[in-house]
Structure 1
Amino acid sequence: MLTPLMLLKSSFTPIFFVQTPKSKAQKLHHAFTKTFFTNSTPPVRHNASLNVATPPPASSAYIHLPFCRKRCHYCDFPIVALGSASTQTHHDPRVSNYIDWLCREITATKVDQHASTTPLQTVYFGGGTPSLVPPAMVSSVLESLRVKFGLCKDAEISMEMDPGTFGAEKMREMIALGVNRVSLGVQAFQEELLRACGRAHGVQEIHEAISVVKSCGVENWSIDLIASLPHQNCEMWEESLRLTIESQPSHVSVYDLQIEQGTKFGRLYSPGEFPMPSETQSAEFYKMASRMLTDANYNHYEISSYCKSGYECKHNFIYWKNEPFYAFGLGSASFVGGLRYSRPRKVNDYINFVQNLENGLVDSSGDGNINAKDTAMDVVMLSLRTAQGLDLKSFQESFGSSVVLSLLEAYKPYVESGLVVCLDEHRRTIMDDLNHSFLYKTNTEKRVAYIRLSDPEGFLLSNELIALAFGVIDSWKVCTQYQEAKAT
């Protein structure tokens, strides 16, 4: 996961230690939770999307279903361990009671008049292991969302599913409810690595789950993989990538392990020390993934994300574009009205939160009160994690041309070394007379429409390069155009 925001803006680790490996939207979502909230600070943080004058209403929702058979050795997410043999949860009161409180939170959430006209375009069930939850209970959550916000007919509805927790019957029931995207938590194709991670499934269950997903006609599905596991070597990683490609998912997420304090791995291992791979080995794992997946016609559209053409995760793009989103459930963090708001990580505290929400004692909707520097930093951090990169025209409209020129000047050595790539408005790489333009600042900000990090070398050093941008923004005294837009 990402470190708390202020630490993140001053001290970066290599990109391959950015996020805890689990499933895509859950990692992203809890990355935001850990980025913006700590136990010693209030569970709120103000900022906004790039369109500072009229930020769009939230049209996406993240739903946290925290149930797992057991806790994996690397996991520090808010979960409820049901038992390693638990796959039938229809009559488990821990599940049914939580779903009741979750639906009550959705119903009690404040919605402004403008947002009420915008139905949800994406819903993401993260966890935990959402596929442990009975379809009837998932249906209750979706119905609560429909009643409260509306739900587009063609909405992307994603669900994280672990091998060994579903069969063809449950898969077909989920599809009938509207689930049209599956994120399959494979993690590795080696039995010894799965056991070492504390995963509740084995390799045979992986192949069975892939067969079920494909036989049920799910076209939009992802495989999640973990690199840099204890005792993992290049041959193992290459085999996992090869078997993934042979399975032909439409999307692949690749993460490097982060050792979290308080986890079993945190007690056993230190990053970079045997049996953990070195940073050099982790970088080689990342480059191998980029090479093999790109050669197999997967687009590397975000640091950890690859997809076949047209199969980008729409929900995750909401995060990358720094747009508002709702969040519901244990430990989740929403971003509405310029306010990032986290829910408690413990069940009893979460129940108290929902009761307070129902009694009007909690306002997690925000009022648009935002901070220019924080917003600029968020936009840079999120944009440079994508292949599209930072849209300098929009950034300039919000924060002024001077800060754009300062960013370009700071990145000049990295443009020359190939770690940062400058693109024109047609997204063509700019190479001619670039040094001349930088030297004399002759229409540089007009010629350069986007900047992005190169793949894979720039992505590997993304935290250092983003930290450089943070330094430029933090030293800027006033974001004049941003302040003017906020005042109108």
Structure 2
Amino acid sequence: MLKSTFTPIFWVLTPKPKPPKLPPQAITNTFFTSSTTHVRHNAPLNPTTPPPPSSAYIHLPFCRKRCHYCDFPIVALGSASTQTNDDPRVSNYIHWLCREISATNVDQPADASTITPLKTVYFGGGTPSLVPPRMVASVLDTLRLKFGLREDAEISMEMDPGTFDAEKMREMVVLGVNRVSLGVQAFQEELLRACGRAHGLKEVHEAIDVVKLCGVENWSIDLISSLPHQTSEMWEESLRLAIESQPTHVSVYDLQIEQGTKFGRLYSPGEFPMPSETQSAEFYKMASRMLSDANYNHYEISSYCKSGYECKHNFIYWKNKPFYGFGLGSTSFVGGLRFSRPRKVNDYINFVQNLENGLVNSSVKGHISGKDTIMDVVMLSLRTAQGIDLKSFQESFGSSVVLSLLEAYKPYVESGLVVCLDEHRRTIRIDDLNSSLSKTNAEGRVAYIRLSDPEGFLLSNELIALAFGVIDSWKDMPPYKEAEAT
């Protein structure tokens, strides 16, 4: 099941995408004056010369109130807060956020003409749409001055119903925001109240109308399944109304009960009023069926889109490419290191001051573990419909690892949970796979491994954990080899 005990580096299916959750064995501490920040050693498929980041995640932590399922680092402004122009908590945070961006060390190439400006910027939270446009403009200006920003960059913003009107939406569009992720979560008033959402159904429909009115073509609706007291009829209605709203993208997250949240205190997974694992699986299958029937491509475990409307920023994560992270609790991945910021505002301010004073060292020396790297690639790739590109995988890690994975997955290919594809993405029959394995040249015949939709995706945690077991059993990983950039 999607919500089993295995915890991936990024997110399983949580109400919003989270920064990476890192395996304990791969975490190293680096100490600052007043806080401890986690550094994770790993690398993309091209480990010796990782490219500079071309994407930035910006955490804007403000919410009107904390939802009952949320364990993100946020600042609750009050349930009635929608006008934040003069709120010192907001302006002060933006001030320190811009200082962090400006103080960040950047390895500039000798040839200035080769500098790559940012291709994607993602404003996550929190509820970024609570932040006044002029303050969003200051963040974008700081990014542009520090890194450069392509004119055609994808600039995404998470927005919640009830936190913006047409005037604010138009101002955001003028600033360059060209992709909106609308946090609807459910189309039932009772479920929104049960989740502790600050908006109701009326605000949901108003927000959808505003997004369309302002001409935002690239926009997503976020939905949550497996909520307490949620029935299959409710879930079907939410999916139907989402489809009728005609977004170009839909994200479907399976609720995770997190410790320390209100839901964590009230409910236990699988126990009434929470859906059973069987019911959660049916919710997932229903989403896959209904959205596919409506011509949405299921391109990642929790993501569906019309053709050409994949989230470019999220692909950076799934392809294990480097990215900057700025703001409270955010994580960056630069130079083969994952580096997380403090989750509390005062600690974050101290962190920025230390960064400006040269007291923060994110370049901790150490050996980049081959096992950690290969686990990252497997886990992130198997979240997507493309799956693992075995050509790049073999160039980086060797043919023995490829054969070991194919051997481990062979029973699941037979059961239909794992799919092997050739270079033309045609399915390879199990007889052909067995023949290839017997000749020890499967890596030349099988070009991709992916999980089936929806059955394989439903068991993604177990299937990825199986690969982890195979990788972890290796006493000596093969040496890195330079992989072609893809």
Q: In the alignment, does 2:15 pair up with 1:45? A: no
- Structure 1 unaligned segments of length 5 or more: list them: none
RMSD (CA atoms): 2.4
Q: Distance in 1 between matches of 2:7 and 2:41?
A: 25
Instruction: Tell me the secondary structure at the aligned position of residue 142 of structure 1.
Output: helix
Q: Distance in 2 between matches of 1:356 and 1:57?
A: 23
**Alpha-carbon contact 1:220-1:250 (below 8 Å) kept:** yes
**Alpha-carbon contact 1:67-1:132 (below 8 Å) kept:** yes
Instruction: Tell me the secondary structure at the aligned position of residue 29 of structure 1.
Output: coil
Q: Distance in 2 between matches of 1:280 and 1:262?
A: 26
Which residue among 200, 203, 209 is the counterpart of 1:202?
200
Q: Distance in 1 between matches of 2:465 and 2:294?
A: 32
**Alpha-carbon contact 1:105-1:354 (below 8 Å) kept:** yes
Q: In the alignment, does 2:275 pair up with 1:277? A: yes
Which residue among 100, 106, 110 is the counterpart of 2:101?
106
**Alpha-carbon contact 1:403-1:476 (below 8 Å) kept:** no
Q: In the alignment, does 2:95 pair up with 1:95? A: no
List aligned pairs for 1:200-239, cutoff 5 A: 200-239=198-237
Instruction: Tell me the secondary structure at the aligned position of residue 118 of structure 1.
Output: coil
Partner of 2:353: 355
Instruction: Tell me the secondary structure at the aligned position of residue 62 of structure 1.
Output: strand
Q: In the alignment, does 2:11 pair up with 1:12? A: no
Deviation at 1:31, TM superposition (A): 4.8
List aligned pairs for 1:18-417, cutoff 5 A: 18-22=12-16, 27-29=17-19, 31=21, 43-114=38-109, 117-364=115-362, 370-417=368-415
Instruction: Tell me the secondary structure at the aligned position of residue 433 of structure 1.
Output: helix
**Alpha-carbon contact 2:257-2:264 (below 8 Å) kept:** yes
Partner of 1:466: 464
Number of residue pairs aligned between Structure 1 and Structure 2: 473
TM-score using structure 2 length: 0.93
Q: Distance in 1 between matches of 2:29 and 2:61?
A: 20
Q: Distance in 1 between matches of 2:187 and 2:261?
A: 23
- Structure 2 unaligned segments of length 5 or more: list them: 31-35
Identity of aligned residues (%): 83
Q: Distance in 2 between matches of 1:38 and 1:289?
A: 39
Partner of 2:33: none
**Alpha-carbon contact 2:156-2:177 (below 8 Å) kept:** yes
Q: Distance in 2 between matches of 1:92 and 1:368?
A: 43
Amino acid at match of 1:292: M
**Alpha-carbon contact 1:422-1:451 (below 8 Å) kept:** yes
Amino acid at match of 1:114: P
Q: Distance in 2 between matches of 1:349 and 1:133?
A: 21
Instruction: Tell me the secondary structure at the aligned position of residue 79 of structure 2.
Output: coil
**Alpha-carbon contact 1:145-1:151 (below 8 Å) kept:** yes
**Alpha-carbon contact 2:37-2:341 (below 8 Å) kept:** no
Instruction: Tell me the secondary structure at the aligned position of residue 276 of structure 1.
Output: coil
**Alpha-carbon contact 2:43-2:337 (below 8 Å) kept:** yes
Instruction: Tell me the secondary structure at the aligned position of residue 259 of structure 1.
Output: coil
Q: Distance in 1 between matches of 2:8 and 2:400?
A: 29
**Alpha-carbon contact 1:14-1:461 (below 8 Å) kept:** no
Amino acid at match of 1:206: V
Amino acid at match of 1:139: A
Amino acid at match of 2:12: V
Change over 3 Å in CA distance of 1:369–1:177 after alignment to 2: farther
Change over 3 Å in CA distance of 1:140–1:369 after alignment to 2: farther
Deviation at 1:294, TM superposition (A): 0.2
**Alpha-carbon contact 1:251-1:306 (below 8 Å) kept:** yes
**Alpha-carbon contact 2:37-2:342 (below 8 Å) kept:** no
| Structure 1 residue ranges (4+ consecutive) displaced by more than 4 angstroms after TM superposition | 30-42, 365-369
Amino acid at match of 2:168: K
Change over 3 Å in CA distance of 1:208–1:35 after alignment to 2: farther
Amino acid at match of 2:14: T
Deviation at 1:467, TM superposition (A): 0.5
Deviation at 1:366, TM superposition (A): 6.5
Instruction: Tell me the secondary structure at the aligned position of residue 19 of structure 2.
Output: helix
Instruction: Tell me the secondary structure at the aligned position of residue 480 of structure 1.
Output: coil
Q: Distance in 1 between matches of 2:307 and 2:25?
A: 31
**Alpha-carbon contact 2:354-2:360 (below 8 Å) kept:** yes
Q: Distance in 2 between matches of 1:424 and 1:447?
A: 6
Q: Distance in 2 between matches of 1:387 and 1:65?
A: 30
Task: Please state which structure has a larger fraction of its residues in helix.
Answer: 1
Deviations 1:128-186, CA, capped at 9 Å, x for gaps: 00000000000000000000000001000000000000000000000000000000000
**Alpha-carbon contact 1:182-1:222 (below 8 Å) kept:** yes
Amino acid at match of 1:64: H
Deviations 1:79-119, CA, capped at 9 Å, x for gaps: 00000000000000000000000000000000002397110
Q: Distance in 2 between matches of 1:30 and 1:198?
A: 25
Q: Distance in 1 between matches of 2:369 and 2:257?
A: 32
**Alpha-carbon contact 1:337-1:366 (below 8 Å) kept:** no
TM-score using structure 1 length: 0.93
